[in-house]
DNA sequence: CTAGGGTTAG
């Protein structure tokens, strides 16, 4: 009886230990407890129970110790038990060891252990994570073989897998054949669609789900939010937000994060902020979304501040750090950048490739190339982004050779991508290296064929290195073009001053029905400014209204410039007045406009107005105001502006400001003072400064100073042929033909060509262009005859040709012919012949108007009684009844 | 078995 009692007690206590230990094991919350329980199980010999081995495996996996799980499984004697296999496979997938999971599954099949419906979901999940389509199909066959083709869990896993693999045909096939579906089934399909960018489809499934009478949960809402954000469907988004409130999933932090991120995607900064402030639960992702969202709004300091707040509550992960490091780079906050770098190293992100890439980028942006390189060199493995980042770092910091060398090294390790080539193409622009650009072009064709982005970059590069023909060829050869292609070619036309081609491009765009973007207009408007094409200008202005861009500040600024350069100062002023927001550039545009028309007083008054509204001038603004003063002979006022710039705005004068001052003094005939000013400058005077003085000397006829200044100018040996021509002209005026010949020879040997002069005018929507000395145009004979008649009439009025403006050493009467061949005269004569008597004429010239032509035009305006508006490279001259608006201070 | 946040160029 005693024995029986005892053994009954024994059994009971055994039973008790078994159950309580099993419970303790399940509820263990830390690895230390787990170890203790594990030892106890070994001591008590409970290993022989399948239950304990299995629970230990999953518990270790829960604490991220898959190696312990594997070791227990290896030592286990229950290899014929499917529960053990299921457990170890799940342990592996739980720890992200998907190929190990598949290995074990293969072993299991080899041992002919029959899987059950708990086996497959984890196996299928592994295939999905590995994007292993082939194994996936084999597993599905296996599923059908062993008869789990209709199992809810297995089918859900299959749908998830196929939709993640972007094979919605198979996913839908499984979905359609299921005898019974649950919410997870629908959710899997929705998130599959939305994470692959099939947003409409995701919403469609969502509506079907609702029609089927199911109540959405957090998973559903997350997927739908992602789709709404992608579609930028504000209305849908609102509906979902309402739904979130209604079904009460708002306390789910993932759903809230989804909403937060949606508001950012809709550019609703304040809504995002309010939502964030009212969130009950926040996690690291919440903070990341905020930091990243603020970054995308350009609120860099704010996003760094958010980061500093976040670290009080959460340990930032590599994703957080990636966002905030970008912000540091943007504002060149090296101090924060460095400390975050240290944080990453200390917290075990040393080998996170993305984190390192972002650090490299941050250092590059802060100009710390050596620090960037040190990180790059210390990386265990590098990806494309790492290489591209460091190469672009070298290019950005102007170490071009090192950039190319790194590119060579890169090619040994991996295949460069299109971004690598974009970086190298930008290098070509900086170095003006046509040969290397062509070499890259060949490589690009070999490795990528033709892609739009690279094609666009090539159009851009060829134009910027001055190969406009190659740029056009590249543009024409492109099979497909996007709006950027068009914007780029127009910008290219601008850069190379190939305006007529630019206008043709614009009409091609119209014919092809391509909608203009702000960027398109920002390249097109300067094209019209350059051409001074009135009709095109008005048409474009209309187009701006139709597209609703009239309140865009940059557009407004460009329109002011366009009208002023097209001879329509009134329109320019009106546009300025109507602009709701004006920045310093708008004011600069207005003041330059006044300056070009010699309205210096009005320019100064506008400056007063600008000061009153509190807009702060910058250094470019001062160029404009000094220009305006100098073109109106306002010496005292100009000097005052120059002094103010330094005193009131602490802007250190640059070369261009000194050049304006020299221009101001010398234009008003104060040549000696101008020379003195140059010699007392704190900067070394360059060609533009001496050039300003020299061109005034010539107009003022001071030969002595002209000769001295010419010597200075030639010493500097500028790359701009204009200054050599200027000096050569000065010597020609002095009759020093030997010097002239020498300059011409040196220009020839250096390959510098004088920019050919041409003039153009618009008559009835057509632009007519005339080159100097050109004889092949419509009505050449008539034009020539008219010029002959005009010169007779001019002579009677007292005109004497100023032969100093002829550069060639030829006979006097031939010189006279050469003057008459100047492009502006041809254009004026052509204009007189083809427009109504008494109507005003408007002529554009690419260079500065010649002094003799200036005089001649004054006479012509009186003889024919016409207003002649001439825009040269600098400004407008309005000729009227024998005088010019520039007051001869051209 | 199902959900959210990150890197290079333009």
DSSP codes, A280-302: S---HHHHHHHHHHHHHTT-HHH
Lookup: nucleotide whose C1' is closest to A164 CA:
B2
Q: Are residues A746 and A798 in the same domain?
A: no
Lookup: nucleotide whose C1' is closest to A453 CA:
B10
**Could you give the 3-state DSSP secondary structure of residue A868?**
strand
Could you give the number of structural domains in chain A? 2
**Which neighbouring-strand residues pair with A880?**
A883
CA A116 to C1' B2, whole Å = 21
Q: Are residues A686 and A734 in the same domain?
A: yes
Out of A2-16, A211-225, A634-648, pick the least confident. A2-16
The confidence score (pLDDT) of residue A808 equals 58
Domain boundary among A720, A738, A754: A754
Output the six-digit token pair for A466.
Answer: 């001055």
Question: For residues A348 and A371, what is the distance between their CA atoms, to the nearest angstrom?
Answer: 19
Nearest protein residue to nucleotide B6 (CA to C1' distance) is A319
Is A394 among the domain residues?
no
Question: For residues A591 and A237, what is the distance between their CA atoms, to the nearest angstrom?
Answer: 47
Q: Are residues A819 and A864 in the same domain?
A: yes
Output the six-digit token pair for A728.
Answer: 């050569």
Is A269 among the domain residues?
no
**Could you give the 3-state DSSP secondary structure of residue A352?**
coil
Q: What is the CATH number of the domain that holds A718?
A: 1.25.40.10
The confidence score (pLDDT) of residue A498 equals 85
Output the six-digit token pair for A338.
Answer: 């460095």
Q: Which whole number is the average pLDDT over A645-665? A: 91
In DSSP notation, A44-70 reads: TTGGGSHHHHHHHHHHHHHTT-HHHHH
CA A429 to C1' B9, whole Å = 14
Nearest protein residue to nucleotide B2 (CA to C1' distance) is A188
Q: Are residues A772 and A702 in the same domain?
A: no
Q: Which whole number is the average pLDDT over A306-322? A: 88
pLDDT band (50, 70, 90) for residue A889 = low
The confidence score (pLDDT) of residue A474 equals 95
CA distances from A394 to A373, A379, A399, A603 (A): 9, 18, 5, 44
Q: Is the dihedral of CA A835, A839, A845, A848 positive or negative?
A: positive
Nearest protein residue to nucleotide B9 (CA to C1' distance) is A419
Domain boundary among A719, A754, A789: A754
Domain boundary among A754, A771, A791: A754
The confidence score (pLDDT) of residue A890 equals 62
- Of A105, A99, A94, which is closest to residue A69 (Cα–Cα)? A94
CA A565 to C1' B10, whole Å = 30
Question: For residues A721 and A752, what is the distance between their CA atoms, to the nearest angstrom?
Answer: 6
Is A438 among the domain residues?
no
Q: Which whole number is the average pLDDT over A411-426? A: 94
Q: Is residue A505 scored above 60 in pLDDT?
A: yes
Q: Are residues A770 and A736 in the same domain?
A: no
CA A287 to C1' B8, whole Å = 24
The confidence score (pLDDT) of residue A709 equals 83
The confidence score (pLDDT) of residue A738 equals 83
Question: For residues A88 and A81, what is the distance between their CA atoms, to the nearest angstrom?
Answer: 12
Q: Is residue A6 scored above 60 in pLDDT?
A: no
Out of A237-246, A466-475, A648-657, pick the least confident. A237-246
pLDDT band (50, 70, 90) for residue A777 = confident
Q: Are residues A717 and A659 in the same domain?
A: yes
The confidence score (pLDDT) of residue A124 equals 96
CA A371 to C1' B5, whole Å = 27
Is A203 among the domain residues?
no
Q: Which whole number is the average pLDDT over A458-472? A: 94
The better pLDDT of the pair A371, A322 is held by A371
A746 contacts: CB under 8 Å, gap ≥ 6: A724
Is A780 among the domain residues?
yes
The confidence score (pLDDT) of residue A3 equals 45
CA A102 to C1' B1, whole Å = 17
Is A496 among the domain residues?
no
Residue span of the structural domain in which A802 resides = 760-884
The confidence score (pLDDT) of residue A553 equals 92
The overall average pLDDT reported for chain A is 88
> Rg of the Cα trace of chain A?
39
Q: How many helices and strands, by DSSP H and E, does chain A display?
A: 48, 6
pLDDT band (50, 70, 90) for residue A695 = confident
Q: Whose structure tokens read 């939010």?
A: A225
Output the six-digit token pair for A639.
Answer: 């000097």
Q: Are residues A794 and A842 in the same domain?
A: yes
The confidence score (pLDDT) of residue A461 equals 95
Q: Are residues A712 and A684 in the same domain?
A: yes
The better pLDDT of the pair A556, A799 is held by A556
Q: Are residues A717 and A770 in the same domain?
A: no
The confidence score (pLDDT) of residue A181 equals 94
Lookup: nucleotide whose C1' is closest to A349 CA:
B6
Q: Is residue A1 scored above 50 in pLDDT?
A: no
Is A250 among the domain residues?
no
- Of A181, A172, A101, A88, which is closest to residue A139 (Cα–Cα)? A101
Q: Whose structure tokens read 């994703």?
A: A319
Is A521 among the domain residues?
no
């Amino acid at each position: 009886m005693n024995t029986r009692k005892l053994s009954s007690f024994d059994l009971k206590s055994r039973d008790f230990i078994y159950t309580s230990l099993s419970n303790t094991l399940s509820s263990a919350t830390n690895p230390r407890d787990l170890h203790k329980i594990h030892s106890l199980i070994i001591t008590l010999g409970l290993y022989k129970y399948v239950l304990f081995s299995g629970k230990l495996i999953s518990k270790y996996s829960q604490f991220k110790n898959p190696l312990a799980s594997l070791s227990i499984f290896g030592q286990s004697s229950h290899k014929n038990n499917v529960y053990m296999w299921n457990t170890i496979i799940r342990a592996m997938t739980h720890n992200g060891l998907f190929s190990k999971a598949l290995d074990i599954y293969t072993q299991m099949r080899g041992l002919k252990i029959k899987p059950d419906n708990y086996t497959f979901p984890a196996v299928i999940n592994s295939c999905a994570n590995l994007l292993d389509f082939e194994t996936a199909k084999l597993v599905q066959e296996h599923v059908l073989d062993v008869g789990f083709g209709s199992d809810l869990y297995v089918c859900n896993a299959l749908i998830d897998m196929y939709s993640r693999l972007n094979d919605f045909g198979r996913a839908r096939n499984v979905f359609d054949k299921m005898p019974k579906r649950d919410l997870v089934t629908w959710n899997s399909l929705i998130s599959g669609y939305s994470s692959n960018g099939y947003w409409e489809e995701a919403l469609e499934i969502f509506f079907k789900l609702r029609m089927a009478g199911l109540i959405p949960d957090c998973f559903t809402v997350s997927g739908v939010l992602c789709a709404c954000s992608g579609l930028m469907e504000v209305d849908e988004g609102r509906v979902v937000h309402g739904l979130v409130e209604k079904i009460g999933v708002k306390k789910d932090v993932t759903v809230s994060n989804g909403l937060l991120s949606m508001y950012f995607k809709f550019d609703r900064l304040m809504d995002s902020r309010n939502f964030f402030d009212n969130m009950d639960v926040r996690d690291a992702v919440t903070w990341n979304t905020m930091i990243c969202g603020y970054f995308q709004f350009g609120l860099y300091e704010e996003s760094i501040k958010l980061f500093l707040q976040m670290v009080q509550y959460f340990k930032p992960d590599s994703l957080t750090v990636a966002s905030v490091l970008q912000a540091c780079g943007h504002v060149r906050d090296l101090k924060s950048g460095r400390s975050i770098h240290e944080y990453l190293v200390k917290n075990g992100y040393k080998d996170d490739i993305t984190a390192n890439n972002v650090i490299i980028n941050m250092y590059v942006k802060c100009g710390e190339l050596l620090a960037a390189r040190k990180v790059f060199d210390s990386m265990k493995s590098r990806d494309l982004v790492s290489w591209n980042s460091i190469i672009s770092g070298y290019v950005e910091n102007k170490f071009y050779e090192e950039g190319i060398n790194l590119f060579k090294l890169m090619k040994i390790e991996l295949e460069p991508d299109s971004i690598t080539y974009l970086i190298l193409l930008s290098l070509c622009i900086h170095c003006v290296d046509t040969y290397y650009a062509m070499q890259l072009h060949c490589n690009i064709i070999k490795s990528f064929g033709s892609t739009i982005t690279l094609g666009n970059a090539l159009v851009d590069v060829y134009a910027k290195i001055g190969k406009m023909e190659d740029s056009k060829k590249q543009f024409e050869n492109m099979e497909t073009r996007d709006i950027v292609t068009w914007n780029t070619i127009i910008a290219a036309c601008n850069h190379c001053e190939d305006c007529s081609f630019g206008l043709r491009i614009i009409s091609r765009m119209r014919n092809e029905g391509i909608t203009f973007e702000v960027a398109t207009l920002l390249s097109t408007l300067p094209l019209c400014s350059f051409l001074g094409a009135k009709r095109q200008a008005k048409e474009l202005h209309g187009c701006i209204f139709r597209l609703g861009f009239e309140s865009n500040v940059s557009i407004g600024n460009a329109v002011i410039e366009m009208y002023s350069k097209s001879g329509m100062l009134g329109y320019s002023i009106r546009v300025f007045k109507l602009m709701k927001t004006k920045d310093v550039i708008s004011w600069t545009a207005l003041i330059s406009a006044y300056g070009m028309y010699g309205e210096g007083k009005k320019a100064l008054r506008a400056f007063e107005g600008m000061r009153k509204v509190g807009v702060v001038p910058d250094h470019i603004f001062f160029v404009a105001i000094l220009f305006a003063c100098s073109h109106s002979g306002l010496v005292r006022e100009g000097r005052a502006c120059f002094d103010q710039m330094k005193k009131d705005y602490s802007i250190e004068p640059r070369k261009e400001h000194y050049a304006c001052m020299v221009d101001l003094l010398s234009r008003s005939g104060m040549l000696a003072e101008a020379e003195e000013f140059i010699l007392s400058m704190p900067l070394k005077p360059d060609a533009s400064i001496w050039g300003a003085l020299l061109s005034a000397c010539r107009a003022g006829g001071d030969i002595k100073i002209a000769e001295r200044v010419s010597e200075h100018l030639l010493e500097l040996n500028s790359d701009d042929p204009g200054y050599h021509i200027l000096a050569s002209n000065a010597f020609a005026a002095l009759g020093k033909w030997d010097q002239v010949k020498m300059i011409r020879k040196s220009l020839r040997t250096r390959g510098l060509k004088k920019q050919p002069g041409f003039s153009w005018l618009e008559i009835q929507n057509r632009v007519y262009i005339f080159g100097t000395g050109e004889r092949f145009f419509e009505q050449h004979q008539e034009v020539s005859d008219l010029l002959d008649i005009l010169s007779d009439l001019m002579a009677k009025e007292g005109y004497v040709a100023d032969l100093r403006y002829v550069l060639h050493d030829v006979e006097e009467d031939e010189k006279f012919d050469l003057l008459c061949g100047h492009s502006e005269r041809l254009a004026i004569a052509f204009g007189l012949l083809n427009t109504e008597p008494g109507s005003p004429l408007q002529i554009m010239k690419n260079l500065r108007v010649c002094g003799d032509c200036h005089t001649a035009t004054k006479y012509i305006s009186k003889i024919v009684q016409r207003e002649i508006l001439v825009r040269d490279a600098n400004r407008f001259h309005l000729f009227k009844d024998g005088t010019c608006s520039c007051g001869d201070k051209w």
